[in-house]
Chain A
């Protein structure tokens, strides 16, 4: 038997990752187990003896917590300058579709409809796929959390002045002008969730704004007559399609 491959590049990152990864592992493993068990019970239950809504809520809540942990880890690393995001041309409509696919059960559970408009595959932004996913997941999650039930969450993508802009509009409680200023700060929650939805940490928008900053983008919110419109704008890629 003989040694074959030099593993130096694989071992290189190990030391710096160890602490962060250990903490994430401790949280993520039991949550993954809860989510997986709910999935197995759901399959076995097949609409039977156990209240299916309760099983679905266990699965959705644990999946949402897992997303939050991912977001905190990614935002924390970037915020502390421990890592830089790799930026590349990203198909924004595809990421929106992926996030909507993942969050749809939650929207259905809370009686919301998600409406996507101006959805062109040619909308490519220079961004980081994982970070954009986390940012949009947070915005869609908030839109569901803070909207009155049986309302529509609208997601619109536009090509605007060399930027790709994503608008996420909800029909929720209005936000005051003073509150707008502190929305993107750490623990800056200003609205109460509607429909007994799981509480907010006040970290989501703060982390999202840090990630958007790292992608050379802007993030903001505008008041609507009935609700709010959060937006993210990112530099548009000069490419017209993914290579």
Chain B
């Protein structure tokens, strides 16, 4: 079981992910914006961050940037969860890892059940 911060602006998708992850025994905090995510991180000790990229106001890349700026948060593993294909960024695995990104999940190819299994794999590795 892990404490997970989900940063996802689409409420219906967020509901699906939260439901699957809760069923797998995880504790979920949900933020819809970058600002909300920072507030929740201040209040809670997240062990994994699930981060959408297309967010209102400040996008997920800016959130990544912000997370890496602070020693309190820069070692929290981040799983990117996006409708943007990873190929569009042309970044190597090593470059993503510098930002704490342990996995890049392409939303259209990840069913809610798969997400729960991937998180379980990450928790087991920790």
Contact flag A21-B54 (CB < 8 Å), given A1-B70, A10-B61: yes
Across the interface, do B84 and A43 meet the contact criterion of CB distance under 8 Å?
no
Assess the A25–B16 pair: CB atoms within 8 A. no
Are B108 and A66 neighbours in the complex by a CB distance under 8 Å?
yes
A 1-45 contacts with B by CB, 8 A: 1-5, 7, 9-11, 13-14, 17, 21-22, 24-25, 28-29, 31-33, 35-37, 39-40, 43
Roughly how many angstroms separate A3 CA and B67 CA in the complex, as a whole number? 10
Interface size on B, residues (CB 8 A): 31
Stretch among B24-32, B35-43, B86-94, B117-125 lining the A interface: B86-94
Q: A29 to B10, Cβ gap below 8 A?
A: yes
Per-residue A-contact encoding for B85-124, CB less than 8 Å = 1, 0 else: 1011111000100110000000110011100000000000
Q: Helix, strand, loop or mixed for chain B's interface?
A: helix
Residues of A in contact with B (beta carbons under 8 Å apart)? 1-5, 7, 9-11, 13-14, 17, 21-22, 24-25, 28-29, 31-33, 35-37, 39-40, 43, 63, 66, 70, 73-74, 86, 130
**Chain B residues with a Cβ under 8 A of chain A:** 10, 12-13, 16, 20, 54, 61, 64-65, 68-72, 74, 83-85, 87-91, 95, 98-99, 107-108, 111-113
